[in-house]
Amino acid sequence: MRKVYLDHNATTPTHPEVVKAMLPYYGKIYGNPSSIHQFGQEARKAIDEAREKVADFIGAIQEEIIFTSGGTEADNFAIKGIAYANEKKGKHIITSSIEHHAVLNPCKYLEKQGFQVTYLPVDKYGLVDPDEVEKAITKETILITIMHANNEIGTIEPIAEIGKIAKEKGICLHTDAVQTVGKIPVNVNKLNIDSLSLSAHKIYGPKGIGGLYVHKGIRIQPLIEGGHHEKNRRAGTENVPAIVGLGKAVEIAKTTLDKESIYLTNLRDGLCSGIGEKIDSVYLNGHPVKRLPNTLNMSFEFVEGESIILNLDMKGIAVSSGSACTSGSLEPSHVLKAMGVEPAIAQGSVRFSLGKDNTEEDIDYVLEVLPEIIVRLRAMSPLYRKQKG
């Protein structure tokens, strides 16, 4: 059976070149980067090179990059670390209601610790209004954390504008850029951001490795105490092979990003219009153009997203509903809810997230299989039968 993977916002296959770059560090280059002998120094050099690649890719300098165990740790570190280091100045944080749980849950945790958190609303496209950010700022505000692009719907937030406001007010701005670094151009200076999370496995790198950019001079308290690794900001012997893999992944992304984004936009828009032509009562979730090139989230009225996923899976097609973390529960996505999507429509949402190895044939296959599935599922829906008479 044909296999079509359309769940790249959950994770991507590791690029063969990335695996190749990592292998020596599982073999003969095994030294501890903290050791001063040659074995250690060889590993240290590999980390330095990877750090340079990551820093260069987002317009930062080496000292501003801290390697973490992934996007989740980077988000936790930024939010808790900046909050604790600055709590004497104030205890108010601003975020949005459509963040990834790696941001929402640290914010909820801090609320229990006596911080106040404002969860900003979004419009029907999932956009945060920079004016709302400005209005929410108080004398107590120490951190604004708004994601760069949403993982479920792909909407790209106006981070540069929000960054301008944060800068004027002297407030730290963190952005979860896990879905953008490697997919669209990201430059920390152009975006006016002080802190940014990224992850390797969303961009053809290995799982369990990511990074946090922290602008020079921003105060941040470590989450993990121990040795003097990462300039005393994140203790623990470095995951050398994974760091090398992350470095390679961004090195590849740097050369392929522009072409790939055009390729994926075309492929995705073909899928979108194909669905629109073949299936009635479908709606696009997310912004029509301010959106990640690879992401398409659509609601199929009168059908459960979960049923669509299971039926597509039987045909070898992998998609998701909402975020991977919320799959398995039938709770409608917090993102669609915040956008004001009616619960009945939100239930029927499916996310197609494309990747570099997807082809026209993959899309044709989906367009062949999906309409039949929808017809079959709708035939079982009393609501649908009633409406269509």
Ligand X SMILES: *Cc1c(COP(=O)(O)O)cnc(C)c1O
Residues 6 or more apart whose CB falls under 8 angstroms from that of 79 comprise: 93, 103, 106, 107, 110, 143, 145, 174
Phi, psi (5° rounding) for residue 49?
-65, -40
**Near ligand X by CB under 6 A, which window of 17-25, 130-138, 196-204, 253-261?**
196-204
Tokens 């002998």 sit on residue:
37
Q: Which is nearer to ligand X, 246 or 374 (CB)?
A: 246
Which of 33, 70, 126, 205 touches ligand X (CB under 6 A)? Answer: 70
Catalytic residues: 325
Query: Distance (Å, rounded) from C-alpha 176 to C-alpha 95?
Result: 11
DSSP reduced 3-state for 322? coil
Q: Which residue is nearest to ligand X (CB)?
A: 71
Contact with ligand X (CB under 6 A) among 22, 55, 102, 250? 102
| Residues between 207 and 236 that touch ligand X (CB under 6 A) | 210
Place of tokens 């770059």: 21
CA 93 to chain centroid, in Å, comes to 20
Binds ligand X (CB under 6 A): choice among 31, 33, 71, 348: 71
Task: Compute how many residues bind ligand X; rule: CB under 6 A.
Answer: 15
Task: Dig out the tokens for 369 from the structure.
Answer: 């299989």
**3-class DSSP state for residue 208?**
coil
Provide the minimum distance between the beta carbon of 134 and ligand X in the complex, in angstroms, as a whole number.
24
The residue from 66, 93, 104, 147 that contacts ligand X (CB under 6 A) is 147
Question: In this chain, which stretch among 70-78, 235-243, 259-267, 328-336 interacts with ligand X, using CB under 6 A?
Answer: 70-78
End-to-end Cα, the chain, rounded Å = 37
Mask for 29-68, x = binds ligand X (CB under 6 A): ----------------------------------------
Instruction: Return the SS3 of 233.
Output: coil
Q: Are 295 and 286 in contact, with CB atoms under 8 Å apart? A: yes
Q: Per-residue contact track with ligand X, 148 to 187, x per CB under 6 A? A: ---x------------------------x-xx--------
For residues 33 and 206, which CB has a smaller minimum distance to ligand X in the complex? 206
| DSSP sequence for 187-244 | -TTTTT-SEEEEESTTTTS-TT-EEEEE-TT-----SS-SSSHHHHTS-S---HHHHH
Nearest distance, CB of residue 274 and ligand X, angstroms: 26
Residue 99 CB, shortest distance to ligand X, in Å, is 8
Q: Pick the binder of ligand X from 86, 145, 199, 358 (CB under 6 A).
A: 199
The strand ranges marked E within 54-114 are 65-68, 92-96
Q: Is 282 helix (H, G, I), strand (E, B) or coil?
A: strand
Rule CB under 6 A: which of 319-348 touch ligand X?
none
Task: Please report how close the Cβ of residue 90 comes to ligand X at its closest, in angstroms.
Answer: 26
Binding site for ligand X (CB under 6 A): 70-72, 75, 100, 102, 147, 151, 176, 178-179, 199, 201-202, 210
